[in-house]
Structure 1
Amino acid sequence: MTAEKRLLIYMHIPKTGGTTLKNIIKKQYHSKEVWFHMEKDMIPKLKEKRKIDQLKCVGGHCWYGLHEYFKRPYQYFTILRNPIDRIVSEYYYILRRPHHKAYPQVQNMSLMEFIHHFPLKSSNQQTRRISGCIHEPDLDLAKKNLQNNFTVAGLSEMFDESIFLMKKTFNWGDISYSKENVTNNRPSVTDMPKDILSELEKRNEMDLELYTFTKELLAVKLESLDSDSKQELEMFKAGKQD
């Protein structure tokens, strides 16, 4: 597979640092080579507005299986997040944005009500997306897809390491960034009531296991870097802390 022919598919899982990552991606390609609205119902609009053969990277809040719409070699990449923290962040993100399409429903809901009323958002969403099984998440399939079809699967909690691996894997240039779309002034998970934490843990057993699995895969990739790349990574991380 040549770098020119492959199509990179960025699976943007909500509240995992996706807006920041998209800004990094935009720096790597010409505007005609990128499309970031890849929910399946956007495919017809994509065909109307863009020459598909020019695209090098597409992305969006998509599910595994999007590659079936393209007759090209493909590589997925994504970033996951601790599922409990991700759901809490998404709830407060919606609650503070009246323009969000879910805001009219969420504005008067408690977090527990949100969890019960939005099962696709609050129950194993990462496993659902990565397995491609929306209504019946398949953990084994999600793990298999991560191993075989995701060239890089990073973590929000290891964002610098994750985008550095993408830089090396996809031959990117500048990956400097400033954080975007951050949900500030929200309670930390450690401050959550025990009944809410218990409910979230029960509803996200697969996502919690998938998160651990992803962390293990990421550690192997980082360890396999050559000594020069490891030194470059440490310099990059140190630069972000300055």
Structure 2
Amino acid sequence: MFNRKVTLYNKPNNGKKNNTSKIFLMVIVIAILVIVFVQSASISSYSGSINTDSVSKAIEQQIVEKQQQHEKKVDNQQQIIDQQVEKQQQAEKQQQQQQHLKKEEDQVKPEQTVRVPPSYKQKEKPRIDIEIDILTKKEREHLQRVVIQEWKDEVEILKNLDIDPGYASIPKIPEDYTPPTGEELERKIKDQTWKLKKEENPFLLPKPHIFIHVPKTAGSSLAGIFRRNEKRDSFAHHWMHPNYRELENVVKKDTVFGHIRYGLHNYYERVYPDRLPANEYGLNKYSYITMLREPVDRVISNYYYHRQNRKDPFHDLAMKYELRDWIKVSAAANNEQARMICGLGWSDFGNETISQIAHHHLKYTFKHVGITEDFVGSLVLLSHYSGLQNIRFSKINTGRQRVSVDTIPDDVIEEIKERNWIDISLYEMAKDIYNKQIDLIGREFFEKEVQEYKGKFMNKYSLPSNGIRS
């Protein structure tokens, strides 16, 4: 049977072709070709789309990079411009701050070059201190206007008076007052407590006492005396005019001493207007005290003091110039005594208005005036006007580089005199006041006190006969 099936399966076609099988095979081949063609087209299209996207992204990236480079270039240019503007503004600001000093310095041509040693650098001020400086400047400008107006008012008062009140340092005393003599004189010299009692001491000034310490007039030695005689809470010592923040505490003190300017009484008047009785002539009622020094000697002393003290704010200027050139650029060498007594001219070297106001104040306002050249005598007089008990002193803040006036060239001396014409006139008035104070107290009484003082302190502490030189 098996053989039969095989025979049947392999049965010949009798020579006829099988067309159906061929057609079927061709259809399959064509279908395969179509499928292959379609797939190839799809792959080609996908590849093209990928290439197009890559090119677009590359172009966009190049555009962004160019924009960033342009912006960076613009920023750099603007930064350079800003830096140049800032430097220019700083230069202009520095030029404005030094304009006044430069104008004066440009006129000076030192004959010798002076070596300037390194000085202490000033620390940058905190913001609060800068604000205080601004307020202080405004307050001082206001104070100067008040001082000028007060002077004008007093000039009008004097015009309407029948008599000239005379020196304020020469007060009216009881008609029955006579200088002590004999045993009373000896008793009063030995025991000074009577000077604290107004009924026994007609020269005693009411407080507050405002002592204007002109630089290089032995004021540092006086400061020690006041400090020993006053309660700590009642005494204030200022190395410069009080700033805006300090004014509130100043008026709480009974004695104010230091490098202060005339006009401080206005703050007392604001807070305690009835503390002192009114002046009988309507003039200033406050107890201003000062001590003046021969102007040429004071200027020379001041110059060498600035040079020796490296921490002094005017040290660099003094080291930069010789004396003959320093007096042309330093305010301290030009009528400084007058400007402090006047209350004006913080930077001005002196003018006619300053002269008039300074003379007016010294004559009609200052209740005691001493002179440095007779320091011991001035101390004795001051004890009558202030009630000071312990007036022993030591030499403080004296110059180590001090030179004699005789060694200074004549032309320099003459220029110092010309530049300090107001101070010279004031000093002559101060000497007149000083001698009249002695006469009023009693010259014999005064000389006995001076003699007692020198015998008690001068030999013991090896002080010079006139007391002090600085």
Percent identity between the two aligned chains: 27
Letter in 2 for 1:202: E
1:202 match: 418
Whole-Å Cα distance in 1 between the matches of residues 250 and 265 of structure 2? 16
Contact kept, 8 Å, 1:9 with 1:59, in 2: the verdict is: yes
Tell me the TM-score normalised to structure 2 length.
0.48
2:308 match: 96
Q: 1:158 aligns with which of 362, 367, 374?
A: 374
Shift of 1:8: 0.7
Whole-Å Cα distance in 1 between the matches of residues 385 and 250 of structure 2? 25
Letter in 2 for 1:33: S
Shift of 1:46: 4.6
Q: 1:41 to 1:185 in 2, by over 3 A?
A: closer
Indicate whether 1:45 and 2:257 are aligned.
no
Contact kept, 8 Å, 2:251 with 2:267, in 1: the verdict is: no
Whole-Å Cα distance in 2 between the matches of residues 235 and 153 of structure 1? 22
Query: Once the two structures are superposed, what CA deviation does each residue of 1:174-215 show, in whole Å capped at 9, x if it has no partner?
Result: 101111111134211111011211110110111111111100
Q: 2:332 aligns with which of 121, 129, 148?
A: 121
Larger strand proportion of the pair: 1
1:57 match: 255
Residue 101 of structure 1 aligns to a residue whose secondary structure is coil
1:83 match: 295
Shift of 1:130: 1.1
Worse-matched range after superposition: 136-145 or 19-28: 136-145
Shift of 1:141: 2.4
Shift of 1:228: 3.9
1:232 match: 449
Whole-Å Cα distance in 1 between the matches of residues 426 and 223 of structure 2? 23
Aligned length: 237
Contact kept, 8 Å, 1:40 with 1:66, in 2: the verdict is: no
Whole-Å Cα distance in 2 between the matches of residues 191 and 239 of structure 1? 34
Q: Unpaired segments of 5 or more residues in structure 1?
A: none
Q: Which has the higher contact order (CA 8 A, sep 6+)?
A: 1
Tell me the TM-score normalised to structure 1 length.
0.89
Residue 27 of structure 1 aligns to a residue whose secondary structure is helix
Contact kept, 8 Å, 1:38 with 1:58, in 2: the verdict is: no
Whole-Å Cα distance in 2 between the matches of residues 5 and 238 of structure 1? 31
Q: Unpaired segments of 5 or more residues in structure 2?
A: 1-197, 199-203, 277-285, 460-470
Whole-Å Cα distance in 1 between the matches of residues 455 and 398 of structure 2? 21
Residue 332 of structure 2 aligns to a residue whose secondary structure is helix
Whole-Å Cα distance in 1 between the matches of residues 394 and 239 of structure 2? 24
Q: Indicate the structure (1 or 2) with the bigger Cα radius of gyration.
A: 2
